[in-house]
Amino acid sequence: MLDISGIRRLQFDVLIIGAGGAGLSAAIAASQDRKTRVGLVCKSLLGKAHTVMAEGGMAAALGNVDNRDDWKIHFRDTMRGGKMLNNWKMAEIHAKGAPKRVRELEHWGAVFDRTRDGLINQRNFGGHRYPRLAHVGDRTGLEMIRTLQDHGIHQGIDIHMECTALDILKDKSGKVSGIVCMYRETGEFIIFETKSLIFATGGAGKAWEVTSNSWEYTGDGYGMAFEAGAELIDMEFNQFHPTGMVWPPSVKGILVTEGVRGEGGILKNSEGNRFMFDYIPKKFANETADSVEEAARWLEGDKDARRPPELLTRDIVARAINAEVKAGRGSEHGGAYLDIATQRSSEDIKKKLPSMYHQFKILAELDITKQPMEVGPTCHYFMGGIKVDAETSMTTVDGLFSCGEAAGGMHGANRLGGNSLSDLLVFGNLSGMEAAKYSKRLKSMPKADDGDIKRIIKNATSILNREKGNNPYLIHEDLQKNMQYNVGIIRTKKKIQYGINRIEDMKLQFQEVKAPGSSQFNPGWHEALALRNLLISSESVARSALLREESRGAHTREDFPSEGDEWLEYNIINKKGVNGEMQTIKVKRSEPDKELKRIANSSIEDLEKEVIIDHNKL
Amino acid sequence: MKERDFKIYRGNDEKGELVSYKCNVSEGMVVLDVINRIQADQANDLACRWNCKAGKCGSCSVEINGKPRLACMTRMNEFEEDKTVIITPLKSFPVIRDLVTDVSWNYKQNQKILPFSPSEKDKEKDFVMMQKDVDRVQHFRKCIECYLCQNMCHVIRDNEGKDKFAGPRFMVRLASLEMHPMDRADRIKEIKEEHGLGMCNITRCCTEVCPEEIQITDDAIIPLKERVVDRYYDPVMMLFNKLFGKKKKEITD
């Protein structure tokens, strides 16, 4: 029998898994009183999490560029972008809380681009009524993670880098009592005993073939939370960012920031047509420019001109590009042309989009100040995730909290660009505070069961100890192809069902997965460990996508092409059944607060008048 | 698609060897694609670090044919087709396994730096800073912490130098703090004594390898050296300091 007495144990009040923007924010918030023992575990080196890749900016109604902005308008934009399926309360907390958190980041050392008056500058982005995204060129994520990192390392947080979380431990009553992890460098196991646990583990974009996500995005939080009995919500809503690189093949999927369109970039098909004018949905028609001339006036700063259709929400733009390619009007390598060269001066482009300039220059040998880019949809973000309580970020498991991309609900059926970085700050902070409070209420450390610890460790080591077995990399490649073709942008019942059958086959192959080599920094082993979580995440996406028989936001069913009003009443939940199987059920949404409902359903004209009155009162 | 030859370091800090691999290379591939392909098909346990694959996170720093580079931003068409490409770990840090090195020393240097310190009064309202006054600071903040400059710095390459000099990366960080219009701390003494600025003799090797093209030597190190000289070696300033105490940073409101 496995002896676990020699395995190191550490105790915390709050332990955070994941050190991107959400995890670092949570850790800083939890350690505010300097008494709470806070730990932070990350799979990579500190400062390398996916937040570093965020480009465009963070949305907050600061009103620095257009003083008509207000939390109410940000809230309305967010709800409409999410096709009204967002958790109302979370969208409210987010829109109200974002400005304070952005200012806090500046106080911790972030240096945003400035307006002419020396305030934080804000840029236009898809679905946002006003210039709203605080940004630093096109490297806002780097600014954010470095600021949080450099502030966070002085808050007494115990940081464990290159450490993989394996599974959650609970006590007899079902409360979180800890988590078993493994240091990647040595292969050594460690048991973290903790009163509360925050999952800031990001999404599972690595389940698709064409993706903007790195190796880390394997749905570890979804897999572990599911295994511990937590509920996953809205998993059918996977955002395909409209503009990923398409050529050369080795860089397919790498993100091209929406900031290109925010700064005036236009989309054209192979016939040279600016096709987005043909894809304006009725709902957005009276807020969108209907001619090239009007769009040009908007770019010049005319406040009466409406926004160009390239800045419609991501779900709409991604589907439009997809449709153009299908109709035979795609670019040379099967995408659309994104042209900023004819819209802005070379100097402006290099100043506002330096990393895009650099990225295309090196990876595609293309000068974006002279030539159009080729772009196409790439898997980017999970709107869905672990179900949390809006006001505490606690999941359905006592003591388990979640924030950031790992948590679901805030973005509904589609996320607006720029709402992720602000989400990380707002809900990172909230979950950190709430987890610290929860831990203070517990008198003693909940006790983990040794049997559970042994089972978790044995599951991990058997992958190394098997004589022979399946190559984890190849199963992963199969899974990516399966999700790409069967549970991709455009879905049908037949394809999804086939996709689920394939996932079931892969789950069996996973039972016999083998990683050769030792336990020290062994990427094959790490890949195999992540595969379980990728499979759970993928299954959950596919089963939810099969059940939702409508098209809404990022979830498009060819066999049910329009929004179904009755479906607006439901979220889809996945959880583990008594026999270990995945249960997928429809759950009725609760009735929203009347005032929030009124704001979201107001016409933009009425709401703008109301906001002017609000601002005059102040 | 063409089969090309590679040699990759396999082993740890004590012992290891260059192992030969063959890999098909197609249009647009970068060195990191080759490493990942070999890992998937031939050597599942080949250790390397990477994340963003777009030159934004600074994880995949290695030496390619002896030159410190980001593997994700080094295209295969840079090299002649019939020449073997040799991939080895960073030289200045201990090898953990294969291409992965122990860079924890860098994190320790960062920990020693006094963080951004605005005044409480300034924090009560929105910061007002003009773009031209933050251009230089933003230029420094482009750093992705790939540590290629640290790896290249001859002071750090010499192991004993690690006790004396924090390295170019952290001179850039210190410069970004010292030049931040709202920062009120004074780090000149520490820059001279603890962080060891004097160890740098301006060979500019760091600037040459920076993938973000930060002018490390000219924009960060030399201006910091000037501030140290002003403080410690300028006779007028020495007298001024004696009479009126240390000069505080100018307040630029």
Q: How confident is the model at residue B252 (pLDDT cuts 50, 70, 90)?
A: very low
CATH class of the domain whose range is A452-568: mainly alpha
Here the ipTM equals 0.94
Give me the residues of A, 507-566, that contact B with CB < 8 A.
515-518, 520-525, 527
For residue B128, list chain A residues with Cβ-Cβ distance below 8 A: 117-119
Distance CA(B170)–CA(B175), nearest Å, equals: 8
Which residue, among A46, A145, A159, A250, would best test binding to B if mutated, counting the most B CBs under 10 Å from its CB?
Answer: A250
In this prediction, residues B231-236 reach a mean pLDDT of 83
In the three-class reduction of DSSP (H, G, I as helix; E, B as strand; rest coil), residue A437 is classed as helix
- Answer whether B30 sits within 8 Å of A363, measured CB to CB: yes
Residue at which a domain ends, from B38, B68, B101: B101
> For residue B29, what is the domain's CATH number?
3.10.20.30
pLDDT in tens, B168-190: 999 999 999 999 999 999 999 99
> For residue B116, what is the domain's CATH number?
1.10.1060.10
Residue A560: predicted pLDDT:
97
For residue A111, list chain B residues with Cβ-Cβ distance below 8 A: 129, 134, 137-138, 141, 180
Task: Please state, in angstroms and as integers, the Cα–Cα distance from residue A218 to each residue in A168, A211, A253, A528, A537, following that order.
Answer: 17, 12, 16, 11, 8
CA terminus-to-terminus distance, chain B: 60
Contact pairs from chain A to chain B, CB under 8 Å: 164
> Does B17 share its domain with B69?
yes
Distance CA(B18)–CA(B10), nearest Å, equals: 6
For residue B145, list chain A residues with Cβ-Cβ distance below 8 A: 47, 146
Mean pLDDT (chain A) is: 96
Residue A203: predicted pLDDT:
98
Provide the residue ranges of all domains of chain A, joining segments of one domain with +. 22-239+382-449, 241-379, 452-568
> Does B160 share its domain with B90?
no
Provide φ and ψ at B53, rounded to 5°: 65, 25
In this prediction, residues A149-160 reach a mean pLDDT of 98
The domain tally of chain B equals: 2
Smallest Cα distance from A615 to chain B, Å: 18
- Answer whether A111 sits within 8 Å of B53, measured CB to CB: no
**B131 belongs to a structural domain:** yes
> Does B211 share its domain with B118?
yes
A602 at B interface, C-beta within 8 A: no
User: Is the pLDDT assigned to residue B240 strictly greater than 80?
Assistant: no
Question: Which of A277, A258, A298, A314 has its CA nearest to residue A81?
Answer: A314
Letter for the amino acid at B71? A
Smallest Cα distance from A128 to chain B, Å: 23
Residue B251: predicted pLDDT:
44
**Residue of A150, A214, A355 with shortest CB distance to B115:** A150
- Are the C-beta atoms of residues A353 and A263 closer than 8 Å to each other? yes
**B149 belongs to a structural domain:** yes
Residue B235: predicted pLDDT:
77
Q: Does domain A22-239+382-449 have CATH number 3.30.360.10?
A: no
Task: Please state, in angstroms and as integers, the Cα–Cα distance from residue A372 to each residue in A204, A253, A360, A367, following that order.
Answer: 31, 17, 10, 8
| Residue carrying structure tokens 């991939």 | B87
> Does B188 share its domain with B235?
yes
Which residue, among A45, A470, A525, would best test binding to B if mutated, counting the most B CBs under 10 Å from its CB?
Answer: A45
> Does B110 share its domain with B135?
yes
User: Is the pLDDT assigned to residue B111 strictly greater than 60?
Assistant: yes
**B169 belongs to a structural domain:** yes
Smallest Cα distance from A598 to chain B, Å: 32
Residue B164: predicted pLDDT:
95
Q: How confident is the model at residue B246 (pLDDT cuts 50, 70, 90)?
A: low
- Answer whether B39 sits within 8 Å of A473, measured CB to CB: yes
> Does B95 share its domain with B144?
no
Does residue A261 carry a catalytic annotation?
yes
Residue A618: predicted pLDDT:
80
Tell me the two tokens of residue A424. Answer: 């990380």
CATH code for the part of the protein at A241-379: 3.90.700.10
Q: Give the H/E segment covering residue A402.
A: strand A400-402
**B249 belongs to a structural domain:** no
**Residue of A154, A520, A527 with shortest CB distance to B97:** A520
For residue B53, list chain A residues with Cβ-Cβ distance below 8 A: 214, 251, 254
Residue-number span of the structural domain to which B32 is assigned:
2-101
